[in-house]
Amino acid sequence: KNEVEQSPQNLTAQEGEFITINCSYSVGISALHWLQQHPGGGIVSLFMLSSGKKKHGRLIATINIQEKHSSLHITASHPRDSAVYICAALPPGNQFYFGTGTSLTVIP
């Protein structure tokens, strides 16, 4: 049983489109982490948030603690955004639970 669910599993978009990736979790959490994994395999941290909203360049992450839901938005998507996006929830304790990822392909 996975505590963290992501949707959609796969997403194809045209360059320039606004993209939303969703993450829902079933337990109370201390923080939520968004990560990016490129086809080469490397995993990069995008955001860590426990409330509200964070923005970095074209990426925006939001979280609603009461609804146990977070979203990652990409504005003006670009082919270089093609990657797997992973969310991870941190319940009280030291252990993150990871979603299975959303595979994004942005077509020129």
Partner 1 sequence: DAGITQSPRHKVTETGTPVTLRCHQTENHRYMYWYRQDPGHGLRLIHYSYGVKDTDKGEVSDGYSVSRSKTEDFLLTLESATSSQTSVYFCAISLSPIYEQYFGPGTRLTVT
Query: What DSSP string describes 11-69?
Result: EEEETT--EEEEEEESS--SEEEEEEE-TT--EEEEEEESSEEEEETTEEEEEETTTTE
The contact pattern for partner 1, residues 1-20, with x = CB under 8 A and - = no contact, is -x-x----------------
User: Whole-number minimum distance, CB 103 to partner 1, in Å?
Assistant: 12
CA 26/CA 55 separation, integer angstroms: 25
Chosen residue from 62, 68, 97, 103 binding partner 1 by CB under 8 A: 97
The residue ranges that bind partner 1 (CB under 8 A) are 2, 4, 30-31, 33, 35, 41-45, 47-48, 50, 86, 88, 90, 93-101
